[in-house]
Amino acid sequence: MPQQGTAAEAPTLTAAEADRRKVVLGLLKDALTARRISSELVGRRTIVLRSGRLPEGFGEPARSTDPQLYVFDADSFDVVTTDGCQYRLADGRTHPAADPAGAAGVVARRPWRPS
């Protein structure tokens, strides 16, 4: 599995922003499905466990973080994220989010490496 950052490193998003990014990734998922490429959209939340009550103004113990699209082939998988404007592939390349079909083509042509 690709290296995941610690919970402290994961950017905290508002619920609305996390939902917006899920929609953008969902468009890529649909474009990948049309190419018969399997993928799974995963929403992420950071859960902070504590005992007792939270101090006033401390915030909620659960925060939304970047959703991810896991893209599978027979022997490996890759992870795609988005900032809402660009799709970010695990190797650092980007593709405009306004073009999910084009991004699916980029993903389809990627050399798959074992994770």
Question: Can you give the C-alpha Rg of the chain in angstroms?
Answer: 16
Residue 104 domain flag: yes
Please give the structure tokens belonging to residue 100. Answer: 């999910």
How high is the pLDDT of residue 2?
47
Residue 88 domain flag: yes
Q: Out of 50-54, 57-61, 80-84, pick the least confident.
A: 57-61
Q: How many domains are contained in the chain?
A: 1
Residue 113 domain flag: no
Q: What's the predicted TM-score (pTM) here?
A: 0.74
In three-state secondary structure terms, 29 is helix
Q: Out of 4-8, 20-24, 48-52, 61-65, pick the least confident.
A: 4-8
Residue 19 domain flag: yes
Residue 37 domain flag: yes
Identify the domain containing residue 37 by its residue range.
15-45+62-108
- What is the enclosing helix (H) or strand (E) of 72? strand 62-72
**Rounded Cα–Cα distance for residues 16 and 7 (Å):** 20
Residue 95 domain flag: yes
- N- to C-terminal Cα distance for the chain? 6
Residue 91 domain flag: yes
Residue 99 domain flag: yes
Q: Answer yes or no: are the C-beta atoms of 77 and 115 closer than 8 Å.
A: yes
